Amino acid sequence: MLATATGTSLRIYSLNSLTLLSTITGGHKRSIRSCAWKPGSGDTAIIATGSFDASVGIWSQEVDDNEEWRFAIVLDGHESEVKSVSWSAGGNMLATSSRDKSVWIWEEVADDDYETVAVLQEHEGDVKCVSWHPEEEMLASGSYDDDIRLWREEIDDWGCVSVLRGHQSTVWAVAWEPLPPKDESIGSRLISCSDDITIRIWKKAPNQERQAQSRLSIIKSTNGEEWVEEAQLPKTHVRTIYSVAWSKETHRIASVGGDGKIAVYGEEKQLSGGWEVLAVYDCAHREFEINHVVWAKAKVDGTVQEVLVSTGDDGEVKIWTVS
């Protein structure tokens, strides 16, 4: 299933039939800015939403019983609009970020019962995005202050373990590589996109590289965890890049932005920079900006295949195949 937000409502679509299943209303007082499916929730479908009304909503539906969606719980605490929500890989923790410059981490302690386990306030600007590592309890956040911060829990206390610096303007989105690369020496990687019209890939620094890295791209953390910029993707966009997505199947990367383009990149280690542009589609939502892109599985012409889903300021949701 696919969830999208428009105004104060959610729309749920089937990616098998490409039809609208449900329209959910009544939870938030102002527009929904972000939504995310909870992983591992079994027969109950659960979605978190972040709204301009400064609240976070949890919605649920018993899938087998085909019941109506219910607004299960509201999480209050942020002092301004909520920009991003993200579930941990195990589904037991939810991260939220806000214009109030904070990142909150919530833990589910029982059904429909969440408690705050951390309020992280080291960013100096609006926190645009949060994203959990696909395997570890590690969180990335990107901000209007141009920085990316990585967070871990140490001795029952969450703290920043690394600050990634290099972007020259607002970081709009961050996304983890969904599975470890075939070359195990590379380790986990993170991608980011920015108002500075760059897309950057970050990785944890091998010991031998640490001393050679410029302080413009890394700050040494208190526990010695260091991350460095591995690459910048080829330039295809001419305006702000709002969203990036990393494919679990092909390891390709997709990006969208204010110029209305959808771009797809592939990794080619023998090239200078390591990445090449595979496809660019102009005016994908006509003259409108594109604000989000994700990889998904959908049935197209009777075959289940990986597709790209994009949403634009034209109010449309579009599904794309990439050959």
DSSP labels for 44-96?
EEEEEEEETTS-EEEEEEETTTTPPPEEEEEE---SS-EEEEEE-TTSSEEEE
Q: How confident is the model at residue 177, as a pLDDT?
A: 94
Per-residue confidence band for 186, with pLDDT thresholds at 50, 70 and 90: low
What rounded mean pLDDT belongs to the chain? Answer: 90
End-to-end CA distance of the chain: 23
Check if the beta carbon of residue 304 is closer than 8 Å to that of residue 234: no
Residue 303 makes CB contacts below 8 A (sequence gap 6+) with none
Phi-psi region of 18 (alpha: psi -120 to 50; beta: other; left: phi over 0): left
- Determine whether 150 is exposed, middle or buried from the number of CB atoms within 10 Å of its CB (0-12, 13-18, 19+): buried
pLDDT winner (highest mean) among 13-27, 41-55, 127-141, 182-196: 127-141
Structure tokens at 109: 């302690």
Is the predicted pLDDT of residue 213 greater than 50, yes or no?
Answer: no
Structure tokens at 189: 């990687």
Q: How confident is the model at residue 320, as a pLDDT?
A: 95
Q: How confident is the model at residue 40, as a pLDDT?
A: 83
Q: How confident is the model at residue 209, as a pLDDT?
A: 45
The alpha carbon of residue 169 and the mean position of all alpha carbons in its chain are separated, in whole angstroms, by 18
Summary count for the chain: helices (H), strands (E): 0, 27
Check if the beta carbon of residue 273 is closer than 8 Å to that of residue 234: yes
Is the predicted pLDDT of residue 24 greater than 50, yes or no?
Answer: yes
198-209 pLDDT, tens digit each: 999 999 887 634
* CA angle (258, 260, 262) in 5-degree steps: 110
Check if the beta carbon of residue 39 is closer than 8 Å to that of residue 90: yes
Is the predicted pLDDT of residue 210 greater than 50, yes or no?
Answer: no
Greater confidence, 64 or 107? 107
The alpha carbon of residue 162 and the mean position of all alpha carbons in its chain are separated, in whole angstroms, by 18
Greater confidence, 207 or 309? 309
Q: What is the mean pLDDT of residues 167-190?
A: 83
The alpha carbon of residue 48 and the mean position of all alpha carbons in its chain are separated, in whole angstroms, by 13
Which amino acid type is present at position 219? I
Is the predicted pLDDT of residue 191 greater than 70, yes or no?
Answer: yes
Q: How confident is the model at residue 208, as a pLDDT?
A: 38
Check if the beta carbon of residue 267 is closer than 8 Å to that of residue 275: yes
Q: How confident is the model at residue 218, as a pLDDT?
A: 47
Sign of CA dihedral 232, 135, 159, 110: positive
Per-residue confidence band for 11, with pLDDT thresholds at 50, 70 and 90: very high
Q: What is the mean pLDDT of residues 149-155?
A: 92
d(Cα 38, Cα 47) in Å, to the nearest integer?
6
Structure tokens at 246: 């990393």
d(Cα 61, Cα 68) in Å, to the nearest integer?
6
Is the predicted pLDDT of residue 211 greater than 60, yes or no?
Answer: no
pLDDT winner (highest mean) among 34-48, 118-132, 264-278: 118-132
133: which DSSP letter?
-
Q: How confident is the model at residue 176, as a pLDDT?
A: 96
| Beta strands at 227-232 and 199-204: parallel, antiparallel or unpaired | antiparallel
Q: CB atoms < 10 A from the CB of 138, how many?
A: 21
Structure tokens at 249: 């199947």
Q: How confident is the model at residue 222, as a pLDDT?
A: 46
